[in-house]
Amino acid sequence: MSVRVDGPLPTVLQEIEDAATAGFAGVWIGEINLWDPLTVFAALGGRAPGIELGTAVVAVPPRHPLTLASQVLTTQAATGGRLALGLGMSHRFVVQERYGLPFDRPARRVREFLDVLEPVLDGAEARAVGATVVGFGGVGAPGATRPPVLLAAHGPRMLALAGERADGVITLWSRPDYVAEHVVPAVTAAGRAPRIVLGVNACVTSDPDAARRDVAERLAVASTLPSYRETLDRQGAAGIEDTILAGDESVVAEEVRRFAEAGVTDLVLFPSGPTADHDRTTAFFAELARSAR
């Protein structure tokens, strides 16, 4: 489940605890110019036991992998080994306009970032000289274990890189048939069986058309971002609203089943709709999560 981070920090921590109590297997927090997800999880510490704590995602461009490794291992130790590290390149307008950094060669940048990050997370020292990243040395974090590393990916090159180098992929706004025909084959081409983590907007409702209109309005800008736009175009979708799971419990349950058959291992829920539908959606997915354990 995706947790909102637009409230005071104690409220965010309570939402994570509530998600654990409800039965969700994991909570995911992204970087959206609000609370830092890794710091939030470190502040949570040992609370909400039994639930995975995922970043979806931490942006690669503004960080050096050695600095990130130190923060990741600290958070991993603070949470008792429950972190799942999702990494991504973010978007061109964020990297260039917000950070003033280059966005060229994204696949190479992520690959070279991993050349430094991965050995350090494993407790070794990095010795890497790449065209975009240079890193030497390690991080002293006694007792900290390596968390799973997942890459945000949409296009073929990044999907293949996720399957080759990471423990899984994080992607968004894909229908089951698209996952089965494009995402899974690209990620598993290296012969491994990584996690397929998919973020979905969902609304358990008696008015699915209203739910789609709501998503179309709220996420209109996101539907235009190049990486998302390409994924939507490959599916013939006008916008993110065409990928929402909307309908009553039986309709949404059938879509969830189709995602599982397509190869999705983890669904990250973005509840949509007015308060009543939002709560109905959250309760329904919590019941699905409990029944899957």
Q: Is residue 248 part of a domain?
A: no
How many structural domains comprise the chain? 1
Cα distances (Å, whole numbers) of residue 269 to 57, 62, 246? 15, 27, 12
Identify the CA nearest to 30 among candidates 116, 90, 106, 71: 90
Convert 95-106 to b/e letters by CB count within 10 Å (16 or more is b): beeeeeeebeeb
pLDDT tier for residue 292 given thresholds of 50, 70 and 90:
confident
d(CA 153, CA 156): 8
Query: What average pLDDT does the segment 127-131 reach?
Result: 97
pLDDT of 293 > 90? The answer is no
Contact 242, 232 (CB under 8 A): yes
Q: Is residue 221 part of a domain?
A: no
Cα distances (Å, whole numbers) of residue 89 to 36, 62, 93, 101, 186? 16, 10, 11, 11, 18
Does the pTM exceed 0.85?
yes
Q: Is residue 143 part of a domain?
A: yes
Convert 64-88 to b/e letters by CB count within 10 Å (16 or more is b): ebbebbbbbbbbbbbbeebbbbbbb
Q: Output the domain CATH number for residue 94.
A: 3.20.20.30
pLDDT tier for residue 4 given thresholds of 50, 70 and 90:
confident
DSSP 4: P
Q: Is residue 270 part of a domain?
A: no
pLDDT > 90: percent of the chain? 97
Query: 3-class DSSP state for residue 139?
Result: coil
Identify the CA nearest to 19 among candidates 287, 278, 286, 199: 286
Q: Is residue 222 part of a domain?
A: no
The residue ranking higher by pLDDT, 292 or 289, is 289
pLDDT > 70: percent of the chain? 100
Mean pLDDT of the chain: 96
Q: Where are the beta strands (DSSP E) in the chain?
A: 26-29, 52-55, 58-59, 83-88, 126-129, 134-137, 149-152, 168-172, 195-204, 245-247, 266-271
Q: Is residue 41 part of a domain?
A: yes
Q: What is the pLDDT of residue 210?
A: 97
Query: What average pLDDT does the segment 51-64 reach?
Result: 97
Give DSSP secondary structure letters for 175-237: -HHHIIIIIHHHHHTTS---EEEEEEEEEE-S-HHHHHHHHHHHTTTGGGSHHHHHHHHHTT-
What is the span of the domain harbouring residue 87?
1-152
pLDDT of 52 > 90? The answer is yes
Q: Is residue 273 part of a domain?
A: no
Q: Is residue 64 part of a domain?
A: yes
Q: What is the pLDDT of residue 265?
A: 97
